[in-house]
Amino acid sequence: MSGQKITPCLWFDGKAEEAAEFYCRLFGNSKIKDVSRYGDGGPMPKGTAMMVAFDLEGQSFQGLNGGPMYKFTPAISMSVSCKSQAEVDHFWNGLLEGGGKEDRCAWLTDRFGVSWQVVPDALPRLLMNSGPAAAGRVMQAMFKMTRIVIADLEAAAAG
């Protein structure tokens, strides 16, 4: 366990280790810390990862291979804060790799079923500091996007 008080635990159907490896390749400052494996008589084949402890950008997570009983929904998502368009594109394209699906307004679902928001720092800045009319234009521009394009948000704010 990490020193953080609350650690998200993500329930997978046999793909916790694959998901952790995928996320650690995509995010910097990331690593798999520990993997415990099922033994004889477990609900999954012997040697299958049971629990994977990993860090992404200093945030600790657990991946549990618990079986098919529970599925991810967009009701809980991981939000990635991005400083530039290059960062938005890196995480957007990376998280879609291997079968992810785009959604609207910076949302996507990766190939493991986890929902993500890939949000440039410019979005909340333009929504909060541009005045009501400009913020409304920014919001309308965002509603038309899947992957967020910062230049288009800035153009909307400018009118």
117-157: pLDDT as tens digits: 999 999 999 999 889 999 999 999 999 999 999 999 999 99
8 Å CB contact between 110 and 129: no
Residue 111 CB partners (closer than 8 Å, separation 6+):
97, 98, 99, 100
Q: What is the DSSP string of 32-100?
A: EEEEEE--TTSSS-TTSEEEEEEEETTEEEEEEE--TT----TTSEEEEEESSHHHHHHHHHHHHTTT-
| Cβ contact 24:17 at 8 Å | no
pLDDT of residue 133: 96
CATH of the domain spanning 1-70: 3.30.720.100
- Checking if the pLDDT of 93 tops 80, the result is yes
- What are the tokens at 126? 């333009």
pLDDT at 2 over 70: no
Would you state the pLDDT for residue 42? 87
Instruction: Please state, in angstroms and rounded to a whole number, the distance separating the CA atoms of residues 70 and 14.
Output: 12
Could you tell me the CA-to-CA distances from 127 to 51, 86, 107, 121 in Å, in that order?
Answer: 40, 21, 18, 11
pLDDT digits (tens, 9 = 90+) for 33-71: 999 999 998 889 999 999 999 999 999 999 999 999 999
Predicted confidence band of residue 32 (pLDDT cuts 50, 70, 90): very high
Domain coordinates of the chain in residue numbers? Answer: 1-70, 72-159
The CATH code belonging to domain 72-159 is 3.10.180.10
pLDDT of 104:
94
